[in-house]
Amino acid sequence: MSKNENKTKPSELCVDDFIAAVADADQRADAEKLRALMERLSGESAKMWGPSIIGFGSYHYKYESGREGDMCRIGFSPRKGQTVLYLIDGFEGQPELMARLGRHKTGKSCLYIKKMADIDQAALEELCARSLAYMADKYPPV
């Protein structure tokens, strides 16, 4: 693998096995809820990306630097102590939805939550739906 090659790629790992191996029962239940939500909104089946990201759909990106690759359109990863959601940011209404969401942290295109019970489910669903719509405009499906 070259140093510019994306390490996160679709893998043959089993999503069901990955979720079943999540140690915390509440986080495992949250993963099942997120999977169902993202499958419904994206119209795509869950697929493992790398060893720990559950992703839905894919898109091809190319940066001005020349670096390019493929990534899931939306996804999540149950990590120790928190779940990371991978959503594109910058869409209209995002700040208002984030304000409604409840307890969370953010990073570059990442949303960190401890428990689904801590957040507004309707706001989360709208965030995911708008992220997917913005993604479809920015990176049209082929």
Q: Which CATH class for the 15-138 domain?
A: alpha beta
Annotate 89-127 with DSSP letters as a single string: ---TTHHHHHHHHBS-EEETTEEEES-GGGB-HHHHHHH
For the whole model, what pTM was predicted?
0.90
Which residues have a Cβ under 8 Å from the Cβ of 53 and sit 6 or more positions away? 8, 72, 75, 76, 77, 86
Q: Which residue has the higher pLDDT, 103 or 1?
A: 103
Confidence of residue 89 (pLDDT cuts 50, 70, 90): confident
Q: So what's the pLDDT on residue 36?
A: 98
Residue that the structure tokens 């990106």 belong to: 61
Terminal-residue alpha carbon distance, the chain: 26
Q: So what's the pLDDT on residue 2?
A: 46
Q: So what's the pLDDT on residue 4?
A: 53
User: C-alpha distances in angstroms, 70 versus 21, 58, 135?
Assistant: 26, 7, 13
Residue that the structure tokens 């689904």 belong to: 116
**How is the chain split into domains, by residue range?**
15-138
Give the tens place of pLDDT for each residue, 47-59. 999 999 999 999 9
Average pLDDT of the chain is 91
What's the average model confidence in pLDDT over 46-75? 91
Give the tens place of pLDDT for each residue, 92-102. 899 999 999 99
How far apart (Å, rounded) are the C-alpha atoms in residues 58 and 131?
Answer: 13
Contact 114, 89 (CB under 8 A): no
Q: Which residue has the higher pLDDT, 84 or 109?
A: 84
Percentage of residues in the chain having pLDDT higher than 90? 73
How far apart (Å, rounded) are the C-alpha atoms in residues 117 and 126?
Answer: 16
